[in-house]
Every structure is written in C-alpha cells, then in structure tokens.
Amino acid sequence: MTTTLTAPTEHACGPLLAAGHTACTGCGEALAAKLVLGAAGSNIIVTDATGCLEVFTTRFPQSSWEVPFIHSLFENSAAVASGIEAALRALGRQNEAKVIAQGGDGGTADIGLQALSGMLERGHDILYVCYDNEAYMNTGVQRSGLTPFDCMTTTSPYGEYSWGNKHNKKDMPGIAAAHGIPYVATASVAFPKDIENKVKKALTITGPKYIQIHSPCPLGWRSNPQLTIKVAKLAVETGLYPIFEIENGKVTKVRKVKTPKTPVEEYLKIQGRFAHLFKSAKAKEEIQKIQEIADRNIEKYGLA
C-alpha cells in the first residue's frame, strides 16, 4: 500500500541532521545540509558522495542522519540516487519518498559530473544538491572545478610563477540547465530562508532539479570561523557568487546586489587563500581581473 506525500514539513522530533557530528567550527556545509534536510522533511532518501559531509556525519558506529542515508563513492552519488528513484517507480512506491542526491564541488563538477549528467539527461525525479566549498577540503584543500580564479590551494599554490588557480570557476548551474531540466538554483548559507524556500520549491517539481549552495570552509579558506556568514554574504554582495533561479531554461529570479556595489577586495581580504593578492602592488592587476569576473556576473544575471 502506498502513501501519498503531503507538503514537506519540519521533523517533529528534532533536526534531521543531528548534532554531535565532527564538522569544523564554522563549517558552512554542515549548516547548509541541516537547512536542506529541515526543508525537505523526513520523507526522503539521501545519497552522499565521499567528502567532508559524509566523513563528519558518519563516524562509525555513530551517524547524524535521521533519514535513510546511503554513502556512495566519490563519483556516483547521482547514479546511486538514480537507481533508488527507478526502484521506487518500479515498485509503485514513488509517492512514499523523495530522493535527494548530494555531493561537494569536487564530487559534482569533476569526479561525479558524468553520473550527474546521466541523471539529468534521463529525467530522474531527483533533487541534486551541490555543497560548494570551492576545493577538495576533505583530502587536503586541492583545487576543484569550482575553485575561484587566483585562489591559493595546495595544488594551485602562489609563487614566483603563479597567482594561484589560473582557471575560472566552472559554470555548473549553466551546465545543469543545458540538460533542459525544469529547475536550477544557486543559494548561499548567508541566506538560510532562501535555501529552505528553494528546496521546498524544487521538491514540488517533477523531474531532475539542481541546487548549488555556497558553503564557506574556514579551514580551507583560512577565514575566521566566526565570520562564515559574513564571508558568504560578501561573496553574494560583490557579485562573485550570483544567486538566481532558472526555470525551464530561463532566469526567473535573482538576488540583487546593493548600489553602490561592494568591491571584491572586501570579500578577498578576510580570507587567507587570497592573502597573496595583498602583498604587492603588482597583484592589483589580479584583483582587477577578479573584479571583472564579478562585474560580468552582475551584468549576465541582471543583479544591479
């Protein structure tokens, strides 16, 4: 006998991502995951790629997950979720639970991109959530496809011949939207209610959905853990992390930036991963390049 889902509700007994896990102080990913689960409600099945979120929530024999949780390999969270969704349909039980696939930026934009593309292409009724902390934090802060330009990581070091990561951040929301899926959104832990609203909205839509959440990592970003929300908010206010929704291929809603716009230095200077950009006059050219990235985002998405 199947059960028809009603609108997602908050868990009656407490958080669906329980306290007591081992995330670092000020971890943006832990906050984001808690918000996603709280908005989704308890009628969900969750998959999670290898990464920080899996490690700090599943310290054997304990687990912080108060919902069905399946840890997959680094590359196949979307593939495992696809199998779960297909199985529910085959059994006629698709109305009993929503399926949420999760991954970090590396597991999404690099290692898991093929599995994610397949999930989106096949049209599975799954919400994919990318927790974007802009590097492989769990394995030693190596750069990923979502690491920002000129950011210093252990594999994109600053030195005589380098200003850090020389590549632009991969446009994962654009790649997801190019699959023709009904809903794509970006969000930030600086705006919790926005995350909750987008998760609830996504789960009312049939088909594949993609949400990318900017999640500061004080360890990898070398920022003060007490400033996690401030750092996240500055990324949005400078235009470096545009917040928007794409529905059926069209941008339908954006979070505007303030006028006059906040210069990118305000965001960069409070993070050790960009400290090298403030050590010489020559680095001003690099900061100007980053400002131009923000300006292009503001123009592209109409944020001003």
Q: What is the SS3 assignment for 177?
A: helix
Q: Which of 112, 243, 121, 255 is nearest to 178 (CA)?
A: 121
User: Please, which residues have CB within 8 angstroms of residue 60's CB and are 6 or more apart in sequence?
Assistant: none
Q: What is the SS3 assignment for 142?
A: strand
**What is the Cα–Cα distance from 107 to 104, expressed in whole angstroms?**
5
pLDDT at 148 over 60: yes
Q: Which of 212, 208, 213 is nearest to 82 (CA)?
A: 208
Q: Give the pLDDT score at 210.
A: 98
**What is the Cα–Cα distance from 65 to 21, expressed in whole angstroms?**
10
Q: Give the pLDDT score at 187.
A: 98
pLDDT at 6 over 60: no
* Percent share of the chain, pLDDT over 70: 96
Q: Find the Cα–Cα–Cα–Cα dihedral 292, 190, 251, 100, rounded to 10°.
A: 130
Q: What does each C-alpha distance from 165 to 120, 160, 169 come to in angstroms?
A: 29, 14, 10
pLDDT at 12 over 80: no
Torsions phi, psi for 251 (to 5 deg): -70, 120
pLDDT category of residue 14 using cuts at 50, 70 and 90: confident
Q: Give the pLDDT score at 201.
A: 98
Q: Give the pLDDT score at 2.
A: 36
User: Which amino acid is it at 193?
Assistant: K
Torsions phi, psi for 128 (to 5 deg): -100, 130
Which two tokens mark 202? 């996504």
pLDDT at 5 over 50: no
pLDDT at 140 over 90: yes
Q: What does each C-alpha distance from 168 to 54, 62, 104, 116, 124 come to in angstroms?
A: 27, 39, 18, 21, 30
Q: Give the pLDDT score at 7.
A: 43
DSSP 295: H
HSE, CB side, 13 Å, CA atoms: give it for residue 17. Answer: 21
State CA 256 to chain mean position distance: 20
pLDDT category of residue 8 using cuts at 50, 70 and 90: very low
Q: Is the four-CA dihedral 91, 7, 249, 108 of positive or negative sign? A: negative
What is the average per-residue pLDDT within 224-253? 98
- Burial classification of residue 190, based on how many CB atoms lie within 10 Å of its CB (0-12 exposed, 13-18 middle, 19 or more buried): buried
Average pLDDT score over the chain: 95
Q: Which of 244, 296, 302, 237 is nearest to 268 (CA)?
A: 237
Helices (H) then strands (E): counts for the chain: 11, 10
Q: What is the pLDDT of residues 53-101, one digit of tens each?
A: 999 999 989 999 999 999 999 999 999 999 999 999 999 999 999 999 9
Q: Give the pLDDT score at 4.
A: 41
Q: What is the CA radius of gyration of the chain?
A: 19
CB atoms within 10 A of CB 131: 29
Q: Which of 285, 302, 292, 283 is nearest to 264 (CA)?
A: 292
Q: Give the pLDDT score at 13.
A: 53
Q: Which of 3, 9, 69, 12 is nearest to 200 (CA)?
A: 9
State CA 291 to chain mean position distance: 22
Q: What is the pLDDT of residues 205-230, one digit of tens each?
A: 999 999 999 999 999 999 999 999 99
